[in-house]
């Protein structure tokens, strides 16, 4: 077991240095490699397979609701970006510009898309004439570029993968319903696929998306007590439609502007999975998006019949789960540690004695529990076990969030929690931007969201003591 010990020792314990623990895992679990381009990461096959499984589930959900996939250009002319003032101001510090093509200097700078609202708007203005053309429910899978000052794999990178939905509607009511519906799609995906509990709510005016009337968010809590914005959905009203002239002839014959939404979910979710579920031995992969759900590790595989039986089991299990057989000549202890590091939900051990007894040993990654199962029952036992692991991981993450969620009724309490406990702080707020700024300045905590599930913790604002309007989740964040 020395090899196993050595592999695990390569991970810095999360209680010693959480940031280094995270970096160790993304490297040693072979999720990413660093590239020669500042802030850009190479997504390795194991992590990309996670993203494909996330993408597959979300794409199915989108299409079931009537959305269609499209693709927009990577480059945006500067004049197009300038059309919506708040939008361009919000993104200006993060934009990368192309100024030269081949040997020629461009007559107009091209922005490498940080997001694609303006491109969709230009297109919609051309293709929409009548109410009969509405709604348009489009989604795009692509990469975007934002010139970040500090980067960290998955959480904040110069280029990242995402989907961005962009829809237009005849009425405010339809667009607002779409915005909330898509936020709920993200929340359901996070909990049903990633085993990650989230708080659903609305961003404050200060924290909303540039150019939006309202921004809604799902907020997750990481193991170190920091919050992570895991997905957002925006209602734009007619702001972009007016700037880009997106009009339609309504049933009453009058010309009206469309109401618009956008919503996005990114590879940042992989970072969230690591930080919500991982431990000092590596990843804990939520079974439903795990690239490998079951790994078969033969014991004493040099003995007659062991590998044959392992291959037979792989063939059977492949019909019910994503399975890998590791028949390499590495020592079993090394294999155990490697797949524990990679977070494979179930390890199946099979050796000569197991074959004699017509059984296998299943080992759970989440609890390390060993379960002896008859080979005749694998088709029923494995799917049930994967579901149980998912549910257990979701409940464990909820328990951590509960433990790290506190209530503050005064600024002194607020400061004490942020400094000594970490996690979400629930506190009342008057709605004044000055108080929001003061809280951030004095504690480093930002407003994460005004949750849909409001609670009346007190009648007064935690900061100024005036009448409170909202209960807000606050916290330090990634």
Predicted local confidence at residue 87, as pLDDT: 66
Residue that is written with structure tokens 């005036």 in the block: 466
For the chain, the farthest-separated pair of C-alpha atoms sits apart, in whole angstroms, at 82
In a domain, 284, yes or no: no
Domain end position, chosen among 223, 247, 277: 277
Domain CATH for 328: 3.40.50.800
What's the Cα-to-Cα distance from 338 to each of 2, 24, 235, 277, rounded to whole Å?
13, 14, 45, 17
Task: Say if 119 falls within a structural domain.
Answer: yes
* Tokens (6 digits) for 367: 């609890």
pLDDT digits (tens, 9 = 90+) for 361-377: 999 999 999 999 999 99
- The domain that holds 124 is classified in CATH as 3.30.930.10
DSSP string across 250-265:
-TTS-EEE-EEEEEEE
How far is Cα 478 from Cα 475, in angstroms, rounded to an integer?
10
238 & 335 share domain: no
End-to-end CA distance of the chain: 37
Same-domain status, 321 and 225: no
Instruction: Could you list the beta-strand ranges (E) of 286-336.
Output: 294-298, 323-325
Shared-domain flag, residues 433 and 306 = no
Q: What is the pLDDT of residues 311-350, one digit of tens each?
A: 999 999 999 999 999 999 888 889 999 999 999 999 999 9
Same domain membership, residue 332 and residue 232: no
Q: Which one of 248, 277, 306 terminates a domain? A: 277
Which residues in the chain show pLDDT less than 70?
Answer: 1-9, 84-88, 90
Specify the length of the chain in residues.
478
Q: What angle do CA 181, 184, 186 make, to 5 degrees?
A: 115
Residue 397 inside a domain? The answer is no
Q: Any bridge partners for residue 218, and if so which?
A: 200, 231
Long-range (24+ apart) CB contacts under 8 A made by 144-147 are: 144/113, 144/114, 144/115, 144/116, 145/96, 145/112, 145/113, 145/114, 146/91, 146/94, 146/95, 146/96, 146/114, 147/39, 147/93, 147/94, 147/95, 147/96
Q: What is the DSSP letter of 447?
A: E
Q: Are residues 199 and 297 part of one domain?
A: no
Question: What is residue 1's predicted lDDT score, i.e. its pLDDT?
Answer: 43
194 and 307 together in one domain: no
Which of 220, 247, 277 marks a domain boundary? 277
My answer on whether 422 and 374 are in the same domain is no
CATH number, position 469:
3.30.110.30
What's the confidence (pLDDT) of residue 88? 66
Residue 326: C-alpha distances to residues 32, 335, 433 (Å): 22, 8, 57
Residue 177 belongs to domain spanning: 10-277
Number of CB atoms found within 10 A of residue 37's CB: 10
Residues 322, 362 within the same domain: yes
d(CA 32, CA 14): 19
User: pTM for the full model?
Assistant: 0.94
In a domain, 285, yes or no: no
Instruction: Identify whether residues 260 and 314 lie together within a single domain.
Output: no
- The reply to whether 391 falls in a domain is no
Between the alpha carbon of residue 154 and those of residues 22, 126, 285, the distances in Å are 11, 36, 16
Within this chain, do residues 142 and 228 fall inside the same structural domain, yes or no? Answer: yes
Residue 393 lies in a domain: no
Cβ atoms 268, 41 nearer than 8 A: no
In whole angstroms, give the CA distance from residue 88 to residue 75.
15
Same structural domain, 246 and 355: no
Residues 355 and 242 in one domain: no
CA 263, chain centre distance (Å): 13
Residue 1 resides in a domain: no
How many structural domains are present in the chain?
3
Record the tokens describing residue 306, joined without a space. Answer: 């062991």
In a domain, 136, yes or no: yes
């Amino acid at each position: 077991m020395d090899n196993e010990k050595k592999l695990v020792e390569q991970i810095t314990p999360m209680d010693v240095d959480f940031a280094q623990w995270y970096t160790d895992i993304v490297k040693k679990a072979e999720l990413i490699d660093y590239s020669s381009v500042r802030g850009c990461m190479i997504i390795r096959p194991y992590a990309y397979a996670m993203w494909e499984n996330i993408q597959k589930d979300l794409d199915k959900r989108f299409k079931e609701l009537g959305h269609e996939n499209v693709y927009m250009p990577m480059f945006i002319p500067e004049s197009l970006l300038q059309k919506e003032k708040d939008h361009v101001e919000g993104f200006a510090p993060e934009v990368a510009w192309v100024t030269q093509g081949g040997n020629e200097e461009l007559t107009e700078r091209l922005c490498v898309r940080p997001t694609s609202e303006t491109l969709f708007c230009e297109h919609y203005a051309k293709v929409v004439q009548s109410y009969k053309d509405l709604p348009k429910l489009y989604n795009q899978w692509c990469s975007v570029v934002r010139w970040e000052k500090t980067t960290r794999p998955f959480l904040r990178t110069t280029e990242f993968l995402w989907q961005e939905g962009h829809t237009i509607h005849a009425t405010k009511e339809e667009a607002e319903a779409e915005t909330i519906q898509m936020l709920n799609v993200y929340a359901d995906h996070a909990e049903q696929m990633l085993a990650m509990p989230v708080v659903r709510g609305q961003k404050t005016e200060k924290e909303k998306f540039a150019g939006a009337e309202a921004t809604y968010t799902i907020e997750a809590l990481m193991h170190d007590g920091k919050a992570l914005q895991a997905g957002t959905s925006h209602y734009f009203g007619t702001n972009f439609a007016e700037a880009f002239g997106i009009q339609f002839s309504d049933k009453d014959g009058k010309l009206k502007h469309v109401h618009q939404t956008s919503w996005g979910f990114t590879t940042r979710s992989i970072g969230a999975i690591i930080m919500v579920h991982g431990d000092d031995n590596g990843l804990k992969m939520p079974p439903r998006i795990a690239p490998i759900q079951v790994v078969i590790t033969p014991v004493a595989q040099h003995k007659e019949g062991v590998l044959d039986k392992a291959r037979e089991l792989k063939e059977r299990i492949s019909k019910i789960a994503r399975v890998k057989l590791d028949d390499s000549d590495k020592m079993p202890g090394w294999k155990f540690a490697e797949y524990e590091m990679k977070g494979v939900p179930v390890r199946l051990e099979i050796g000569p004695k197991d074959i004699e007894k017509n059984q296998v040993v299943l080992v759970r990654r989440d609890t390390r529990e060993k379960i002896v199962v008859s080979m005749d029952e694998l088709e029923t036992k494995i799917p049930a076990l994967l579901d149980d692991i998912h549910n257990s991981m979701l409940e464990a993450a909820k328990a951590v969030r509960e433990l790290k969620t506190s209530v503050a009724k005064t600024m002194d309490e607020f400061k004490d929690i942020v400094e000594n406990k970490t996690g979400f702080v629930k506190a009342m707020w008057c709605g004044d931007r000055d108080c929001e700024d003061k809280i951030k300045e004095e504690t480093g905590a930002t407003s994460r969201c005004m949750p849909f599930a409001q609670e009346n913790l007190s009648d007064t604002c935690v900061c100024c003591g005036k009448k409170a309007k909202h209960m807000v989740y606050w916290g330090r964040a990634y």
